[in-house]
Structure 1
Amino acid sequence: MTKHASTGFEHDLLLRIVKLLNVTMITIPFALCWFLYYAQRTEAPFYAKGNYLIIALFVVLYTVFGRVYDAFLMSMQRIAEVVYEQFLAAAVSDFVMYIVIWLLTKHLPNILPGVVALGGQVLLSTVWATYAHKWYFAVFPPQTTAVIYDGRQGIERLIGQYGLDKKYDVQLAISAEDCIANLAILDGMETVFMSGIHSHDRNIILKYCIDKGINVFVIPRIGDTIMSGAHHMHMFHLPMLRVRRYNPQPEYLFVKRVLDVVISLFALVILSPIFLITAIAIKVTDHGPVFYKQTRLTKDGKEFDILKFRSMRVDAEKDGIARLSSGEHDDRITPVGRVIRACRIDELPQLLNILKGDLSIVGPRPERPEIAAQYCAEMPEFALRLQAKAGLTGYAQVYGKYNTAPYDKLTMDLMYIAHPSIIEDLKIMLATVKILFVPESTEGVAEGTTTAMDEQNNDLVHL
């Protein structure tokens, strides 16, 4: 076993132990809440095995939701981010268990003990995140890191910007051409980041890194993303990869549509008071129309009118020029608009678009024809995202930001399209909750930005 392999095994083993400690700590408040209150009020109280089954169910739920919300990545995220993600995982798990308890007690149980338990979980999460963070960086020093680039630079800046300089000590930033001329320059490195490198050069460097036991992070190009969805098969007694246009199984499309209808109907009923309050607030403040229609593109370039609560002035685009929002400083946004945009309430009328069939809950976000044409003129691959029906939320919305560069959004959307799965759709739906109160996800583009190339020139920010 090489030194890198041995160190990696020890690293992963210790991390698993520390994460298991977190699951145990978060389970304790729920277990106390169950044993001291809810267990005694069930219709038919459990014996020991039944009680343990309830606790085990919570453990499974918290572990699953913790993975969905990236709640265990204390080495990759700030303490506040870890606590926020664990709060979400615990809150969703507690909510599901509350429904289970409701069924067991056969009446609506008192929610207060559950709220107290959630408070204890947040407290223990804060303690765990703080000490786990300190422990990790005390035990594991920063990894010697090299950044190799071709068409785009700036990874080394992002490592510092996102607080990952404690994990990755960038000692080398070099072009792919110079690296290939002297691959031995990577000897002694523990981690390599490759950014925007063409497949031929990337493969040479990748094979060298694997041979030397060096961890590699690759920012994919469009071709890499398309190939990731290839079907593995054999033909002519040879290994073969079959790549074709997005063509999911009929049963996937059927289940996806059923989920779209059921979830959107349920959401419309539950959120109807918010619809009413928002409509009144918009009408009272400037007496303009409550809703705003805008032409967007969905599957195969079909146009449809997307429906939103109006968040900008009625004359926001009186000159007829399509403009992306520049964020909270955009003077076209109304006072009510700032509130509903911050809470994503302006997007809720799109539930009607989902019922109609123009949108799905999960898919690439629909783009305006004018802006899509600009992107396609400079980046023809942008049209590839129209293989699937557009969505209310999507991979790029969950893992990117509003002002993420079009090329990167396209890559994310193609990653989703390459692997159609109901499980992936459910994960994205759940992960959408995570970004609802994160300001970064609604940052605007630079003022005056209207073309794909304008945004693409901001690679250092949007990688």
Structure 2
Amino acid sequence: MKRELKKFESTMWLCIKLLLYILLMGTFMFIMSRENRALGVLSRTMGITFSTYCVVGLLFLNIYGRYDVGRRKSKPIIYSLSLAVLFTDVVTYIQLMIMNTITPSIYAFRLDSLGSLLLSFLVQVMIIIVFAYGGNGLFFTIHKPESCCIVTSSQESLDNIVRGILKYKKQYKIDYIMDYKDKNLFETVGKADTVFIHDVPLDVRSRIVRFCYKNKINIYFNPEIEDIVEMSAKYYLLDDVSVLNANVKAWTMEQRVMKKLLDMSLAIVLGILTSPIWIVSAIAIKAYDGGHIFFKQKRATLNGRVFEVYKFRTMKEHVENHSVTDDDDRITKPGKILRKIRMDELPQLINILKGDMSFVGPRPEMLENVRAYEDQLPEFRYRLRVKAGLTGYAQISGKYNTSPKDKLMMDMIYIEEFSILRDIQLIFQTAIVLLKSDSTEAFRTNETRKYIFKEAQETKTEEQ
């Protein structure tokens, strides 16, 4: 049975995806048509609403992610599709209300059928949940976990990559762990379906990648600065000579002006919209212990310039200042809530208006952390080529305990692939952070090591 399914698997998943998207759109059209009869018959309103839903839906699917079962867990798929559907429903609903406004007057515009809009969204979320769990269940019924080989250089590097792999136990099974210096490296790599290469010298990594490509073995490897530069490079032909050109100069004046305008307008609008949260947070913090409402701390931004970042105070006053750990008793009760929903960051809108920060950019690190990270990883200072940001790749995809190198790679990707459209995309994706339960995961004080790195005695690597 599994063999027969695998023969037609790509067609099967295409049909399932189409069915899901049709059901999501059909749910909106059907429920809204109960109070908007023009949606139930062939009409201009139906045609424009259908077109709007398709175009806007594709836009938000590109922002939040598609129905990619087998690659992502069910909950992230549910969060992504639910947010995409929510924004698509709202935009299409507003367009429908405009279409229903017959009199050309702003006073004739009404937001009707809000109950139907809410019902539509709730039904769509239920459909998404069924398809997410059902799709992943079907995928892993067809596919057993891939046999994996980890090639790395130390126990610390092994712990880092294993922590990520173990969250996807249905996708990957760790069968082999190899020191990159082991003389039997390529013989062992050839036994695996997938190879994870982590913190390995570039020359050795290149040989492993070539070997895997030759033998059709899936490859994952952590990027280095050279890889980030190559990702943003463009292909050119000098006569008949192939070259890649990486433009690593500063952003253009047009880009800086557009980014500044986006920062200022969003900071003002978001500040007004979130004003009730500011008031409630200030009252809760003051009522709890009578201390200061805001917390100020020196951070680094563009070119290493030091500024004071503003946050809602989430810790007790006059305590030692260091990165948060599990069950940190310095955090107050209001602080736990603010950190959980990430609202402690809201006062950074003041920093954006002052010009210290941008809306999107690398996370502003504590000066102590910056110095410590740069001692271990001198390239960490590259992230200071742009202003620090309220949100960004590292803030959305990373956690408080994400390693400095991984933070650097995320920030470098953002810097090298910057565009205003990418900023807007990241701003929308920030909503996912509020739904992720592990986005505020703290630094762990103890971590069990189930997988042990055994350093090879041989220092010379030979391809088998």
Q: What are the residue-to-residue correspondences of 1:425-444 with 2, within 5 Å?
A: 425-444=423-442
Unaligned runs of 5+ in 1: 1-6, 449-454
Which deviates the most, 366-375 or 98-107? 98-107
Instruction: Work out which of the residue numbers 409, 412, 415 in structure 2 matches 1:411.
Output: 409
The 3 A distance-change label for structure 1 pair 305 and 24 is: same
Unaligned runs of 5+ in 2: 101-108, 453-464
Distance 1:368 1:139 in 2: 47
Q: What are the residue-to-residue correspondences of 1:245-324 with 2, within 5 Å?
A: 245-317=248-320, 322-324=321-323
Secondary structure at the aligned position of 2:335 is classed as helix
Q: Deviation of residue 440 (structure 1)?
A: 0.9
Letter in 2 for 1:112: G
Q: Deviation of residue 182 (structure 1)?
A: 5.5
Alignment check: 8 A CA contact 2:179 2:185 kept: no
The 3 A distance-change label for structure 1 pair 211 and 12 is: farther
Instruction: Work out which of the residue numbers 68, 73, 76 in structure 1 matches 2:68.
Output: 73
Letter in 2 for 1:413: D
Number of aligned residue pairs: give it: 437
Q: What are the residue-to-residue correspondences of 1:120-199 with 2, within 5 Å?
A: 120-151=123-154, 152-154=157-159, 157-158=162-163, 161-162=166-167, 164-178=168-182, 183-187=186-190, 189-199=192-202
Alignment check: 8 A CA contact 2:314 2:335 kept: yes
Q: What are the residue-to-residue correspondences of 1:356-371 with 2, within 5 Å?
A: 356-371=354-369
Alignment check: 8 A CA contact 2:35 2:113 kept: no
Q: Deviation of residue 185 (structure 1)?
A: 4.2
Secondary structure at the aligned position of 2:438 is classed as helix
Distance 1:419 1:387 in 2: 13
Secondary structure at the aligned position of 1:402 is classed as coil
Distance 1:198 1:10 in 2: 41
Secondary structure at the aligned position of 2:158 is classed as coil
Alignment check: 8 A CA contact 2:195 2:220 kept: yes
What CA deviation, in whole Å up to 9, does each residue of 1:223-272 have, x standing for no partner? 32233333444558643344464512322222211111111111111111
Q: Deviation of residue 130 (structure 1)?
A: 2.4
Q: Deviation of residue 59 (structure 1)?
A: 3.0
What CA deviation, in whole Å up to 9, does each residue of 1:394-452 have, x standing for no partner? 1011111111111111111111112112222122111110011323111222459xxxx
Q: Deviation of residue 213 (structure 1)?
A: 2.5
Number of the residue aligned with 2:421: 423
Q: What are the residue-to-residue correspondences of 1:338-353 with 2, within 5 Å?
A: 338-353=336-351
Number of the residue aligned with 1:325: 324
Q: What are the residue-to-residue correspondences of 1:51-62 with 2, within 5 Å?
A: 51-62=46-57
Please, what is the CA RMSD of the aligned residues?
A: 2.9
Instruction: Work out which of the residue numbers 368, 371, 374 in structure 1 matches 2:372.
Output: 374
Residue 103 (str. 1) matches residue 95 (str. 2): no
Letter in 1 for 2:75: A
Residue 393 (str. 1) matches residue 391 (str. 2): yes
Alignment check: 8 A CA contact 1:70 1:85 kept: yes
Distance 2:244 2:229 in 1: 11
Q: Deviation of residue 384 (structure 1)?
A: 0.9
Q: Deviation of residue 156 (structure 1)?
A: 7.2
Alignment check: 8 A CA contact 1:23 1:59 kept: no
What CA deviation, in whole Å up to 9, does each residue of 1:372-391 have, x standing for no partner? 11211222111111011110
Number of the residue aligned with 1:334: 332
- Higher relative contact order, structure no. (Cα contacts within 8 Å, ≥ 6 residues apart): 2
Distance 1:166 1:309 in 2: 40
Alignment check: 8 A CA contact 1:23 1:63 kept: no
The 3 A distance-change label for structure 1 pair 263 and 86 is: same
What CA deviation, in whole Å up to 9, does each residue of 1:131-162 have, x standing for no partner? 21121122233333332223522477446631
Distance 1:429 1:12 in 2: 33
Q: Deviation of residue 195 (structure 1)?
A: 1.4
The 3 A distance-change label for structure 1 pair 174 and 49 is: farther
Distance 2:180 2:98 in 1: 60
Number of the residue aligned with 1:227: 230
Distance 2:345 2:97 in 1: 32
Letter in 2 for 1:178: D
Letter in 1 for 2:176: L
Instruction: Work out which of the residue numbers 32, 35, 38 in structure 2 matches 1:34.
Output: 32
Q: Name the TM-score, length of structure 2 as normaliser.
A: 0.85
Q: Percent identity?
A: 29
Distance 1:59 1:170 in 2: 41
